A and B are shown apart, each in its own frame.
Chain A
């Protein structure tokens, strides 16, 4: 349902915060690879939303607007990381029994950022294409194409891992 008037109220933002907080934190953790940093990013994102609530125009779901803010807050928290994964790990079929899990993680981390974000919002937040499009400021068609590409990449990599 569309908002009848521009601007979001504190109650509306708080309601979504209360209801969806674990999902916001999970997506932020997936972006950042750090659960503690994720908590901070979500808090910062919602604080920004509270401050800028009058700028919400109501031309899309409030929750999608909040997702956009939190995703951007999480991305802003990202720090340059040491090389945690490398391509050779993906190709390696030898080694430690946990290598399989590690390669699954590597497969996700090595996806292009947009593909990762679409996957996180689809699987962790259960957002529909329209909400993902609003959150990431891309078209619905791009969401579908990106999701298909992410699935294809992931499926191929996972198939290699399990062989």
Chain B
């Protein structure tokens, strides 16, 4: 028979567990982005020589998705097509298998049977980037994979459907500055090795033609342009812009 721990019992009464609390990772990213924009530059600025090197060697990729037609009439902040439909085309079997295998190994996995759909393919910084969308419970997720860059990998971001339905902004960033690979440069004094390529991706409402990104170093730059994809005529418009 286990011994009763009165301290543990008291603490159990003190604050009840949080069960079934909705995730709000997109909110974390949004707060991080907003605060970064407002932060003093000196806090995030790296030495000028290094920063220049980062810009010279890194590829900044911005991927933006938007719902299909009809949403424009409902305003820029409307994500209804994303909420009711599926973006893109079914992923190839190999892509789906790779996702399933990786998901199987992951500690915090997505539900089994998550159907991956390919939304956009583009190239930047010597790598081929593929953006996939899928649903996970009550969230809509985007997954970016890259090939052709050493230390390649995948980045995934999710937004609760409730966030999309009540969003008051025409764009939701799901992942900011996902790094891929490493540059062949010495570590900074903080031990940081800049990524060879970085990518940001998210969801934008219809009527959004471009996304403007600002780097964490404070340098403003136009990094996205929206183009209509001929490969995916019946799916959300998708576009990309990049800078290297």
Contact = CB atoms under 8 A, between A and B. Distances in A.
B177 A10 contact: yes
Contacts of B179: 9
Contact of B23 (A17, A51, A105, A119): A17
B29 A50 contact: yes
Taking chain B's interface residues, is the majority helix, strand, or loop, or is none over half, making it mixed?
mixed
Given A10-B178, A22-B18, 11 more contacts: A18-B25, A21-B18, A22-B21, A35-B18, A47-B28, A47-B35, A50-B32, A104-B10, A108-B11, A155-B7, A158-B10
Contacts of A150: 7
Contact of A30 (B15, B106, B155): B15
A7 interface: yes
Given A51-B35, A51-B39, A108-B11, A7 B191 contact: yes
A6 interface: yes
Contact of A19 (B18, B29, B31, B107): B107
Given A46-B28, A47-B32, A54-B192, A22 B7 contact: no
Interface in B21-46: 21, 23-25, 27-29, 31-32, 35-36, 39, 44
Q: How large is the interface on A (under 10, 10 to 19, 20 to 34, 35 or more residues)?
A: 35 or more
A53 B18 CA distance: 26
B29 A21 contact: no
Interface in B200-238: none
Nearest to B29: A50
Contact of B28 (A19, A50, A58): A50
B6 A155 contact: yes
Interface of A: 5-7, 9-11, 14-15, 17-19, 21-23, 25-26, 29-30, 35, 39, 43-44, 46-48, 50-51, 54-55, 57-58, 101, 104-105, 107-108, 119-120, 123-124, 150-151, 154-155, 158
A123 B8 contact: yes
A36 to B, nearest CB: 12
B93 interface: no
A84 B118 CA distance: 56
Nearest to B155: A11
A151 B7 contact: yes
20 contacts: A5-B191, A6-B187, A14-B156, A14-B157, A15-B107, A19-B108, A21-B23, A25-B21, A30-B15, A44-B31, A47-B32, A47-B35, A58-B191, A104-B14, A105-B13, A119-B7, A123-B7, A123-B11, A124-B15, A154-B10
Nearest to A32: B15
Contact of B190 (A18, A47, A55, A108): A55
B28 A104 contact: no
B175 interface: yes
Contact of A22 (B19, B106, B153, B176): B19
Contacts of A120: 11
A158 B8 CA distance: 11
B118 to A, nearest CB: 20
